[in-house]
Amino acid sequence: MKRIAFVLLLILLPAALPAQSTESFDPEAATRALLDRVPAEQKARSNAYFEGGYWLQLWSFLIGIAIAWLLLHFRISLRIRQLATRVTKVAGIHRFLYWLGYLAVTSLLLLPWLFYTGFVREHQYGLSNQSSGAWAGDFVKGFFLEILFGGLLVALIYAVIAKYPRTWWVRAALVVITFLVIGIAIGPVFINPLFNEYTRLEDPKVKGPILRIAHANGIDAENVWVMDASKQTTRISANVSGLLGTMRITLNDNLLNRSSLPEIEAVMGHEIGHYVLNHIWKMIVMLGLVIVIGGAFVSWGFERLWRRYGERWGIESAADPAGFPLLVALFSTFFFLVTPVTNTIIRVQEVEADMFGLNAARQPDGFAEAALKLGEYRKLDPGPIEEAIFYDHPSGRQRILAAMRWKAAQAEAPQAP
């Protein structure tokens, strides 16, 4: 009799308990309530910063084109090439020396613009903690890295152009893609530590949940790294980066110090999603295709402009480094025109990682709070066309809405006994 009574109790008890209502939770209303928490002044500031970024893209492109025109029209590029060939007749070395001269001239011309966009403007909007001296130090480090890797890249590209005058654009694109892979592979271990200090996260209350998410999704990691990004910026960020044995799970100290544990779990679930979903390799393939198409555009444009202006600019052929500013201008033009395409490629992967992170970390409220913090420098609620063209991540509103819909769906799911 006791067993029968127990069975009846299991059957009748759920009916006797008040049902959990899911109709009262409206994801749209919850999203709006979260967005309404942002003060009007903060929203106006982040909107102005992000919308100003649209104009920065245009001005950066136009300034780059203007510098290329100056180098070609006044034969500055030709003089740099002539000087490099006087030093040595060895092709690979004089191409490297040309790059050194080109980089020195263009860096000097771009320095005021780079200082404004990377330092002055960031301080105007309260997004930077960096002193001018520290900014200059990072600039110099980046300059020397560009000398090394840029010089190797330029030397290889011109070696390809000289050897394959008809199909150079395909092979040159493959060289660029190869350098992209190398950069991703060595960046976490050899490049990033030149700009920031990386230390192991020791707090088990934070490290434990992150590693549990990683282990549950097939990532065999034993450490989580913390980057001291606060010396440069106020932004929160994290990543799971690296290839070919250099993988690292990293969060910056702003995320660690400014966010709750549910927010940290949500963000790290998203970043782990990128790695598990093979987004690095997929991005290399997709951007690789874009680069190959861009190479075809550059080859087509260079041939036509060289026939018309080559003698005036002193460019002997596509294999002449004196024509490098023209290659850069054409490549920049192509990528400026396809910005909505590249943004969409990245944004689609970000949406996938968002959903992975929600399912892995199961912290929808934490994810929504993190999206609000990202709204300090990203416009939270753009129009659909604006988002499609200018956003390489989902907008804050879309991310919060996705989290609230996930939360509602979990509340509607039948519960196991």
Q: What is the mean pLDDT of residues 355-362?
A: 97
Statement: residue 151 has pLDDT above 80: yes
- pLDDT range class, residue 3, cuts 50, 70, 90: very low
Rounded Cα distance between 263 and 254, Å, is 12
Rounded Cα distance between 298 and 315, Å, is 16
Q: What is the mean pLDDT of residues 309-315?
A: 95
198-200 and 238-241: which strand pairing?
unpaired
Q: Which of 65, 58, 62 is nearest to 301 (CA)?
A: 65
- pLDDT range class, residue 9, cuts 50, 70, 90: very low
Q: What is the mean pLDDT of residues 324-345?
A: 97
Q: What is the mean pLDDT of residues 306-331?
A: 96
Which 3 state secondary structure label does DSSP give 251? strand
Please report the pLDDT score of residue 247 as a whole number: 80
Please report the pLDDT score of residue 66 as a whole number: 98
Q: What is the mean pLDDT of residues 280-288?
A: 93
**23, two tokens:** 């109709």
Residue identified by tokens 């970000």 is 350
Please report the pLDDT score of residue 413 as a whole number: 65
Which 3 state secondary structure label does DSSP give 104? helix
Phi/psi at 98 (nearest 5 deg)? -60, -45
From start to end of 71-208, where are the E strands? Answer: 198-200
Residue identified by tokens 């790059």 is 99
Q: Which of 279, 318, 345 is nearest to 171 (CA)?
A: 318
Flag whether the pTM goes above 0.95: no
Q: Are 345 and 286 a contacting pair, CB within 8 Å? A: yes
Rounded Cα distance between 337 and 49, Å, is 22
pLDDT one-digit tens code per residue, 263-281: 999 999 999 999 999 999 9
Mean pLDDT in the chain? Answer: 91
From first CA to last CA, the distance across the chain in angstroms is 22
- pLDDT range class, residue 68, cuts 50, 70, 90: very high
Q: Are 260 and 369 a contacting pair, CB within 8 Å? A: yes
pLDDT one-digit tens code per residue, 217-247: 999 889 999 999 999 999 999 998 877 677 8
Phi/psi at 127 (nearest 5 deg)? -110, 0
Distance of CA 69 to the CA centre of its chain: 29
Statement: residue 147 has pLDDT above 90: yes
Q: What is the mean pLDDT of residues 350-369?
A: 97
- pLDDT range class, residue 8, cuts 50, 70, 90: very low
Q: Are 146 and 96 a contacting pair, CB within 8 Å? A: no
Statement: residue 215 has pLDDT above 80: yes
